[in-house]
Amino acid sequence: MSKIIEIVENKKHYEGITLTERMAECHTSAISITIIENFEICETYTHGVKRRRTKEKLTADTLFQAGSISKPVFAAAVMRLVEGGALNIDTDISEYLVDYNVPTYDNQKHKITLRQILSHHAGLNLHGFAGYQQGQKIPTIEQILKGAFPSNHLRLKLIKEPESGFQYSGGGYILAQKIVTDVCQLNFCDLMNDLVLSPFRMVHSTFAQPLPKDKSHDIAFGYNPHNLQLRGGYNIMPELSAAGLWTTSSDLAAFGIEIMKALKNESALLKRNTAELMTTKAYVNSPYGLGFAVNQSKKGLTFGHGGSNFGFRSNMVFCPDDGSGIVVMQNSDIGMGIRNEVTNAFKEIFAW
């Protein structure tokens, strides 16, 4: 029996039913799972349909919104720019920003760095983003940062002293996105394709928001907590670096494999010390490195991230000690716990 079949058929992981039955119970119509063994993609499993009305079958190439998994992918781009000398993770970001200053809780200037931002220790607000329905006005990055119309959230602001503690901030990643585009003077989507998506063999992935029409048939439609299809199948996420990635489970597996290879000094894309910075806790008692959540298993270090946009939930986690890992992507808020159940089933079977 293959490990993927053991994961999806073993009823003890899903409250006494199979994964397929669990999906039906939780109104989750699409799931994509990729397993990694020995630094290679072992198997990709898909079940369900892209959209319920047409019953078009899900494939391994079907795109899901990755939510906050966008963050470590973006962090890899930042670190490649650091390796190339375009950025320094410990330089005050005011030296990079063009026409923008971060508001602060005490109206005083504070040194903020990319190291702090990527590890969520900059003291910034804006945990996450709701996105925008099809047909709504979409804010620019400047409007997002300033909380100005048509942005649907508060302005980005320093709410406590940098490095004074962990403060998860998707808003900080938007600030880092502005830094990268200000410094490189390039379109963000093109930059991400050149720095990460193309070289990391993420062949189906894109940060395009909204998606171009020729890509619209390639996506799984998302369903909200009320089991209603999102208008047009998804919310538009202009907060690209924090939540804008469209991808597949196998593309994210390829990304994770490259990071694991870098940790073994076997990557042509990232240096070992860069990968170590990304996957080592940035501060004492911190849950994060630079972009990645960091943890421990019975086999050793693990790193990864979860993702939650309206209508889409995902998990990815990797163990470089034996080159194993799993990526789970699904299209329902009601079934949000399924991603964790699948991940936990994998961890048990792989003796993590």
pLDDT at 1: 60
pLDDT, average across residues 277-289: 96
Question: Does pLDDT of 341 surpass 90?
Answer: yes
**What is the C-alpha to C-alpha distance for residues 220 and 64, in angstroms, rounded to an integer?**
6
* pLDDT confidence bin for 214, thresholds 50/70/90: confident
- The answer to whether the CB of 102 falls within 8 A of the CB of 112 is yes
Q: Identify whether the C-beta of residue 26 lies closer than 8 Å to the C-beta of residue 310.
A: no
- pLDDT, tens digit, 9 for 90 and up, residues 49-69: 999 999 999 999 999 999 999
Task: Write the CATH number of the domain with boundaries 3-349.
Answer: 3.40.710.10
Q: pLDDT at position 340, please?
A: 97
Distance CA 68, CA 71 (A): 5
pLDDT of residue 215: 83
List 49's β-bridge partners, or say none.
57
| pLDDT per residue as tens digits for the range 149-189 | 999 999 999 999 999 999 999 999 999 999 999 999 999 99
Q: For the CA atoms of the chain, what is the radius of gyration?
A: 19
Q: Omega before 162 cis (within 30°)?
A: no
- pLDDT-derived band at 131 (thresholds 50, 70, 90) equals very high
- Residue 220 scores a pLDDT above 90: yes
159: exposed, middle or buried (Cβ count in 10 Å: 0-12, 13-18, 19+): middle
Question: pTM of the prediction?
Answer: 0.97
